[in-house]
Structure 1
Amino acid sequence: MPKRKLKYEDCVDLIDLEIAKRRGKWNLKVIKWMDFDDVSQILRFHIFKKWHLYDQSKPLQPWLNRTISNQIKNLIRNNYGNYAKPCLKCAASEHEDMCSIYGTQNSACPLFRNWEKGKKNAYNTKLPVSLDVHIIEFKSKQSEELNFEKAFEQITEKIQPLLKPTEKKVFQYIFIEKLTEEQAAKKLGYRTKEKTKSPGYKQVKTILKCISVKARKLLDDDEIVF
């Protein structure tokens, strides 16, 4: 007799236990509109939606841990990063609002200027003053904890069955062989009639967008372990 598949409802106690383990680590209390009880509800709903992705031939806890961890990272990114000024992610950013390119972090920078026009008001209205410090702390911890090389290896392996033959070639040329888009287009034999564009510019851009969508789906489905 085949083994009965576990349902989400069968594992509620274990799910709650795994979520509760994160309570002590949720130190991002500057988000005034979201406490850990809210986070717990979001995590439960996320696990419920992703339940069909759980491979029941494998232990549940590792899958739960990965799913919970990835969703917490998404929550931090979405609630912190969406309103923050671009300087926090910029390599030119220096201490005390200084910039190695423009001297200070100001509207002379087009990225900063766009942020001022669009997201600054939301940033000032919705987020506490101490947000910048927390983002920097989070990014520092994130870079220490996440294994991007391992994640890329997984993406490379898992995305292959999803790619069409031409997409596989572009993936190989751009992400493995580190060719430029123009070099990849030439290897594929693409041409263009536009004098201002490199050969195959549009074709390669379109293919890269398709690859990006498929890679994003792997990430959203928690298929990649960082």
Structure 2
Amino acid sequence: MANSDSGSDDFCGNIDQINKIINLNIGKWKLKIINSISHDDIKQELLIQIHRQWEKYDRSKPLGNWLSTVVCNKLINLTRDNFYKFSKPCLSCPKFAGGSLCSLYGEISSECGLYRKWELEKKFHHDCALPVTIEDHQDEIHSMPFGDINFDEQIANLKDKLKEKLSLADYKIFVWLYLENITEEDIIKLLNYKNERQGRKQINNLKQSIVSLVKKIIIQNS
């Protein structure tokens, strides 16, 4: 096993082979389904995982085989976490008959309780994670009936729903951030935070909560 004192140097000394194995394995995977993560980010995730596992490498065995195992396991996890967890429940259902067919309902539809729940909770994330070609994306955008959408009405509706869900203080910060375009620095001053770092952290947490809440509202209304 690796010596803890020399582990880091040992890792750096093998970096060329590590990168070679990473590139080789990435090339074998259809990583377009993980379109929410860049290729460089995936490589970085793999390097971090290998470094974390480095002390477990048995020097009496080939390094390449061990690296391939670590890389493949991490790629499986990345693929599952970024795509398959949002897949339709039909794929694991014994009634699934392939394509858009269901042996119980005929066509896959919201008549099925599991599918209806997936539509409400996961379809949005599934569609975001599913890649399309540039041409298909352009066709999809051009085919959307944006002319029929009353954006002022939609924004007003969203504001009303957020006002119901957020506390008065949080809603005020939402208005400052997204409607009045006040900077985080100015908001920190307006709220008289004594600790600027803590104030920024609280605002960032609130921004994440607002984005998550807006997504849920949009999904429920679609």
| Length-normalised TM-score, structure 2 | 0.50
State the match for 2:90 in structure 1. Answer: 87
Deviation at residue 78 of structure 1 after TM alignment: 1.7
CA distance in 2, matches of 1:58, 1:29: 33
Aligned AA for 2:23? A
State the match for 1:44 in structure 2. Answer: 47
Aligned pairs, number:
129
Deviation at residue 52 of structure 1 after TM alignment: 2.3
1:98 equivalenced with 2:101 (yes/no): yes
Pair 1:129–1:102, CA change in 2 (3 A): farther
Specify the SS of the correspondent of 1:128: coil
1:21 equivalenced with 2:36 (yes/no): no
- Taking only aligned residues, the RMSD between alpha carbons, in angstroms, comes to 2.7
Which structure has the larger Rg? 2
Specify the SS of the correspondent of 1:58: coil
1:118 equivalenced with 2:117 (yes/no): no
Q: Percent identity between the aligned chains?
A: 38
State the match for 2:14 in structure 1. Answer: 11
CA distance in 1, matches of 2:63, 2:19: 13
Aligned AA for 1:24? G
CA distance in 2, matches of 1:120, 1:41: 29
1:126-176, Cα deviation, whole Å (9 max, x unpaired): 43369xxxxxxxxxxxxxxxxxxxxxxxxxxxxxxxxxxxxxxxxxxxxxx
State the match for 1:78 in structure 2. Answer: 81
1:51-90, Cα deviation, whole Å (9 max, x unpaired): 2222233222211111111111222222220221111222
Structure 1 runs not aligned, ≥5 long: 131-226
| Length-normalised TM-score, structure 1 | 0.49
Specify the SS of the correspondent of 1:106: coil
Q: Is the 8 A contact 1:29 1:35 kept in 2?
A: no
